[in-house]
Structure 1
Amino acid sequence: MRYVVAVAETRNFTRAAERCRVVQSALSHQIARLERELGTRLFDRTSRRVRLTPAGEAFLPAARQALEAAERARAEVAAATGEIRGRLAVGAIPTVTAVDLSAALKRFHLRHGQVRIVFRSGASEELVEHVQQGALDVAFLGLPPDARPKGVSGHELARGHLVAMVPPGHPLAGEEQTSLHRLADEPFVDFPAGTAGRIQSDAAFAAAGVHREVAFEITTPDFMARLIRQGLCIGMLPAAYAPEFPDLSAIRLHDAPARVEYLIWSRFRPSPAAAAFLSVLGVPVPQTRA
């Protein structure tokens, strides 16, 4: 199953063998043996590419769950003897401000050096889904005030507002405060439509009765800042995150969009590594069913 997952993710038998630290012939032999046992092919192989068959697509999620369960079992046995090991999978939106995430990961690593840390950045709705599926142990989100993460356990970290970000020389650059109405005629850069980061802004403009044009849809705040810096558009970012771009002007808004930062984890009992990370963050973990 480990070999199947590796081939599915790399789309290449050679790279999969390198990842699994085996020779390619051994990996190919084991996958062929599994296919004979299952009575169907898991991969379509050509000279140019490897792709999953419909049977392979059906097999892959179960294979991942089985591997995660085996890793979890090993971690639970180690925890019973007082040792934290295994894997800690963390996800976060790019604009986390309630926690110094890199510092928290360093503290965790110093305390639990045998735990392998993996990290994924993404949109809040994607991260919730990954936690629900068990692909992530914990995740940091940013949601509109009226939204709550569903199907997971969660802890509210902080509340805040967005500020307008404008380039040097912009007519509003010297002002301390403005309104959404005064921004209506500006081209905007924002997160993709439908994402939590975009919904909070769209809701604020709708509440103010203001129509705006989102000319640029971007997933990373760094590239947003680059476009703003060039004078192509203006944008909005969390007030606590704005100091990351000191060359841009951050302007408070009378009717600013609000957001809430959450830390979430599985609604079932967290893994030993996840529980240890929550402890590093000072987050209480209620007892839940296994």
Structure 2
Amino acid sequence: MAIDEDITLKKLTVFLSFMELNNMARVAEALGQSTVSVHRALHSLEQGLRCPLFKRDGRNLIPLHAAYTFAESARRALAECEEGVRKVREMSGINPVRLKIGSLYSLTLDCIPQLVIGLKLRKPGLDIDLTLGSNRELLQLLNDGRLDAIVIGVQDALPGGPLVSVPLFHDEVFLAAPTGSPYSGETALDLQRLRDERFVTLGDGFVTSESFNHAFALAGFAPATAMQVGDIFSLINLVSGGIGYSLLPGRVRAFSSRIELIPLASRYRAQQLITLLMLDSRERDPNLLALAAECRMVGHR
């Protein structure tokens, strides 16, 4: 049986993205297309199959049982094609099958595993190296060409230079305190009340240390620092052990049940933007395009 010319790999990619996100606008953003193009691709795919995949409900498309059945075959077809392309490129010595990604320690519990799993589903033959470090270290490695892409947090503006950014999500900064502290249960904590407390901090170069310095600059005093450490895990343990308070982003909440994250008063509140960064000279690399698409998916979940 001949395959209709309306059934293309590009349209299968659009179709599978819609089956995952179930929203035309989100698919368009994730794939860098217009909603009109997404709708046209889905409609022409149905025409090529000569079989309806969706039920129309106003402006919404509701997948039929046929869509779920076809999605299984579409995933296998794309995976087989990806594998064939990988093998040919590997034999030719181009488009290496190893992607070097940098990340913050604080993203390793949830965000990075999601990205890696999603990327491996898109690119089964792709090997991934993960390097952990501070913003400063990772940006240097990216600019030196020793990393292909990095996922970091930024406090204010994005770093300058020839970089492409794909935002994932915003993360609010909180006071980190041991459970049962005198500030437990506060909903808008004024940092002025902590003038006599001791703090533990991350070293320079981390976005969380930037958030810490920014908040206390607004408070108008330099906090007493009991200790400075080089990783988020040590910092959390020191806070939970009562060595000192700190300021930490909400994403670390699940790292320990022995700390509490307490909202700050509105004047001190700040958010970190978690974003993918890559050199603009590499943005058309197929592996980085797949990583960027997966970042957009994670950002919508």
Which TM-score tier does this pair reach, normalised by the shorter chain? 0.5 to 0.7
1:84–1:110 Cα change, 3 Å: farther
1:249, distance to aligned residue in structure 2 (A): 1.6
TM-aligned CA distance change 1:242 to 1:194, over 3 Å: same
2: CA distance, partners of 1:95 / 1:193: 16
Distance 1:77 1:126, change over 3 A: farther
- Specify which of 260, 263, 266 is matched with residue 276 of structure 2: 263
Question: What is the letter of the counterpart of residue 198 of structure 1?
Answer: S
**Where does structure 1 differ by over 6 angstroms across 4 or more consecutive aligned residues?**
74-77
* 3-state SS, counterpart of residue 231 of structure 1: coil
1:163-182 Cα deviation digits (max 9, x unpaired):
11111232112323311111
> Whole-Å Cα distance in 1 between the matches of residues 124 and 215 of structure 2?
44
CA distance in 2, matches of 1:261, 1:112: 23
- Find the counterpart in structure 1 of residue 222 from structure 2: 211
What corresponds to 1:127 in structure 2? 138
In structure 1, which of residues 274, 279, 283 is the aligned counterpart of residue 288 of structure 2?
Answer: 274
Contact 1:98 1:261 (C-alpha < 8 Å) held by counterparts: no
Q: Is the 8 A contact 1:76 1:272 kept in 2?
A: no
Q: Is the CA contact 2:134–2:205 (under 8 Å) kept in the aligned structure 1? A: no
- 8 Å Cα contact 1:98-1:157 kept in structure 2: no
* 1:127 to 1:187, Cα distance in 2 relative to 1, 3 A: same
Q: Is the contact between residue 84 and residue 115 of structure 1 (CA under 8 Å) also seen in structure 2?
A: no
| Deviation at residue 275 of structure 1 after TM alignment | 2.1
Give the one of 187, 194, 209 matched to 1:198: 209
Residue 154 of structure 1 deviates from its aligned partner by 1.2
Structure 2 residue corresponding to 1:114, chosen from 117, 125, 128: 125
1:52 corresponds to which residue?
Answer: none
Taking a change above 3 Å as real, the CA distance of residues 147 and 278 of structure 1, as seen in their structure-2 partners, is closer
- Paired residue secondary structure (2:217): helix
Amino acid at match of 1:269: R
How many residues are aligned here?
209
Q: Is the 8 A contact 2:99 2:287 kept in 1?
A: yes
Larger helix proportion of the pair: 2
User: How far does residue 147 in structure 1 lie from its aligned partner after superposition?
Assistant: 4.6
Cα distance change, pair 194–125 in 1 and its aligned pair in 2 (3 A)? closer
Q: CA deviation at 1:219?
A: 2.3
The TM-score with structure 2 as length reference comes to 0.61
Residue 151 of structure 1, CA deviation: 3.3
Q: Could you tell me which of 92, 95, 103 is aligned with 2:103?
A: 92
Q: Which residue does 1:171 correspond to in 2?
A: 182
Residues in 2 aligned to 1:97 and 1:252: alpha-carbon distance in whole angstroms: 23
> Secondary structure at the residue paired with 1:273?
helix
SS of structure 2 residue aligned to 1:175 = coil
Structure 1 residues 177, 195: closer, same or farther in 2, change over 3 A?
A: same
Tell me what 2:171 maps to: 160
Gaps of 5+ in 2: 1-84
Q: 5+ unaligned residues in a row in structure 1: which ranges?
A: 1-73, 284-290
Name the counterpart of 1:25.
Answer: none
TM-score normalised to structure 1 length: 0.64
Percent identical among aligned pairs is 22
CA offset digits 1:234-262 (Å, max 9, x no partner):
11111233233232121100113432222
Distance change in 2, residues 1:166/1:75 (3 Å) = same
> Is the Cα contact below 8 Å between 2:142 and 2:148 reproduced in 1?
yes
Contact 1:161-1:239 within 8 A present in 2 as well: yes
Query: CA distance change for structure 1 residues 262 and 98 in 2, over 3 Å: closer, same or farther?
Result: farther
Backbone CA RMSD of aligned residues: 2.9
Measure the CA separation in 2 of the matches of 1:214 and 1:257. 21
Matched letter for residue 163 of structure 2: V
SS of the residue corresponding to residue 240 of structure 1 reads helix
